[in-house]
Structure 1
Amino acid sequence: MIVQLHHPSTPETLREAEAFLLALNLKCRTVITPDSTLFVIYAGQVPDPRRIRQCPGVKDVHRISDDFKLVSGQWKQGRSTVHVGKVPFGPEAFNMIMGPCSVESEQQLEAVAQFLVSQGVRMIRGGVFKPRSSPYSFRGMGLEGLNLFRGVADQYGLSIVTEVMEVAQIDAMAPKVDVFQIGARNMQNFNLLEAVGKSGLPVLLKRSMSGTIEEFLQCAEYIYNVGNERILLCERGIRTFEGAYRNTFDVNAISYLRSRSHLPVLADPSHGVGLRRHVVDIGLGAVAAGADGLLVEIHPHPDSAVSDRDQTLYFDQAARLIEGSRQFWALRSNMAS
């Protein structure tokens, strides 16, 4: 159950509300976001909601059957929109995030930024700390690369999405990042989830290659639970018995996540299939299934990229995906109206 108080609530109202709930032998957690003041009841015998409505400062009471509460779609009126600067992700807007797998050089970033601006794409992705399967592979330029990334992004008016791999990196990265990405390998790094949540920045959370939908949403709950409601869920493919491509893109998850959670749902077709020639088709399929945005790897010279070259698009392929995605989204919106 979620007990929603009038927002903002005074410290006195919070104390009185907490005392009221404790007197009913209920265990609860206070969650305050920029837009709401909530008590999440997670243990105890919940009485008739009419009794809870007598709680001081109460605005509404929501019964929720999901184990995850805050990210559940059972208590929100409609689906949420998350803004990154002036870029919205949600039911009324579709946007794309594109860029190289790894930040390599100023020349590379300049070429990508110029292309994105020419296509009306306002967000750029790029890794400066890279989790690699082999310790001998390129593992990123670190903070030097992030400074370079920020400079080019500012020059072209773009917002940055980049992966953070450990709690110790957050303070140094936060002033230069617009969205923290939690990669698939860190989906269940609970200390990291809470720490990025406390940063206050939007968080793009990727589903792990072996994570269930339930586990994925519980991980998002960790971020929301510390007061950060600006979460973007991202489906990026799962590991199955099939070996013909890198991952199996779970297109079912796009529609299913939208039905279970109010949070925006993005798709990463680059990792979803792992083969360049199929990325555009898989991306369009994700849009048709209901994705609120795409996260795609592009590069001026994909065959010489230091990482993920086999799944990285050339600019002409990216342009086809951008145009096709906008058309698919417009068709989907017309069908829903």
Structure 2
Amino acid sequence: MIIKLKNSTTESQKQQLVNWAENQGVSVCTVIGNVDTLLGFIGDTSHIDIEQLEAMEIVDAVKRIQAPYKKANRSFHPEDTVITVGDVQIGSGKPVIIAGPCSVESEEQICNIAKEVKKAGAQILRGGAFKPRTSPYAFQGLRKDGITLLLEAKKETGLPIVTEIMDISQLSLFDDIDMIQVGARNMQNFELLKELGKINKPILLKRGLSSTLEELLMSAEYIMSGGNEQVILCERGIRTFERATRNTLDLSAVPVLKSLSHLPVIVDPSHATGKANLVAPMSRAAIAAGADGLIIEVHNNPEMALCDGQQSLTPAAFAELKQSLDKVAAALC
């Protein structure tokens, strides 16, 4: 980290900043030029708040040389991380397909869909038990009962399951869940992320609606800094001025994230586009871009779905898509 001091800075003020930095656990190198005085902070500066430095009266500018995330950074971990969910490996080079309904509605519904997506080739079952909705009057999910039904579907099909957590208080309900999803709205729920860092379970971390890639990686860092390094990043579309789709799917995020981080990256084309007819082409494009997997919404009767039916594929459409995804993946080998 490099700090440029204002020309009006006195020697006493400079020394106070040096002392402050050393108390933060970093060493300081001073470079005095003809015009500018620079301080170089050497060591782990990830915990130093740039905004706090910039607010100091004697500081003119601050530049971070190294990314503030360490554990998620590929520079410190050049090999790709492979994360095991049940008996499925994510990040091993073969795309993993996660499929299931947006929301668990009944035992018959979730079990039938689980059997259909497994038959088509899905390796992990998704399904929402707790549903964050924009409107307080919309269906909020079956909650604890939804978890029970997901576990029944797992028992019948053998598919590992992933479902979303919304609050720390719900954590005990997820003991038998194979992978916990942190939704876009909770990407910066730092207290929740800290708690998930204390458990030994894979975490699927979705990008926030208006979040930068660095902010996504910093959220992953919150989990990893707690000791849980089983984090999978998910690009699910961001909010832009374009209204033709529900969100704008940022496929460039896939290669960018994979260059910055060793963590697996998957794509959610269902939430990104919001339209069932766009899911297939965006899924194929995501695999071509290098995604480690996809999370796709599938419903046996989308028109009657209690949540996000307009972006859900039928089991038949999903089976057709899976065949085309296999061809894309094979072409990349």
> The TM-score by the shorter chain falls in which range?
0.7 to 0.9
Q: Is the 8 A contact 2:46 2:68 kept in 1?
A: no
Q: 1:304 Cα deviation (Å)?
A: 0.6
Matches within 5 A, 1:104-253: 104-171=105-172, 173-253=173-253
Matched residue SS, 1:199: coil
Which portions of structure 1, spanning 4 or more consecutive aligned residues, are displaced by more than 3 angstroms? 24-28, 40-45
Matches within 5 A, 1:258-277: 258-277=258-277
Distance 2:115 2:255 in 1: 33
Q: Is the 8 A contact 2:117 2:315 kept in 1?
A: no
1:41 maps onto 2:22 in alignment: no
Deviations 1:69-91 (A, max 9, x none): 11011111321111112100114
Q: Provide the identity percentage.
A: 43
Counterpart of 2:115, as a letter, is: Q
The answer for unaligned runs of 5 or more in structure 2 is 2-21, 27-42, 49-64
Counterpart of 1:169, as a letter, is: Q
Counterpart of 1:235, as a letter, is: E
Matched residue SS, 1:104: coil
| 2:90 matched residue in structure 1 | 89
Deviating more after overlay: 143-152 vs 210-219: 143-152
Matched residues, number: 281
Distance 1:327 1:26 in 2: 53
Deviations 1:86-130 (A, max 9, x none): 100114222111000000011111211111221232210001110
Distance 1:298 1:252 in 2: 25
Deviations 1:125-184 (A, max 9, x none): 00111000000000000111111110121221011100000000001x222211110000
Distance 1:143 1:43 in 2: 38
Deviating more after overlay: 190-199 vs 225-234: 190-199
Q: Is the 8 A contact 1:88 1:94 kept in 2?
A: no
Counterpart of 2:262, as a letter, is: H
Counterpart of 2:135, as a letter, is: S
Q: 1:26 Cα deviation (Å)?
A: 6.6
Matched residue SS, 2:74: coil
The answer for unaligned runs of 5 or more in structure 1 is 2-23, 29-39, 46-63
Distance 1:317 1:117 in 2: 14
Deviating more after overlay: 237-246 vs 191-200: 191-200
Counterpart of 1:263, as a letter, is: L
Alpha carbons of 1:44 and 1:179: their partners in 2 closer, same or farther (altered >3 Å)?
closer
TM-score by length of 1: 0.80
Distance 2:161 2:274 in 1: 23
Matched residue SS, 1:41: coil
| 2:52 matched residue in structure 1 | none
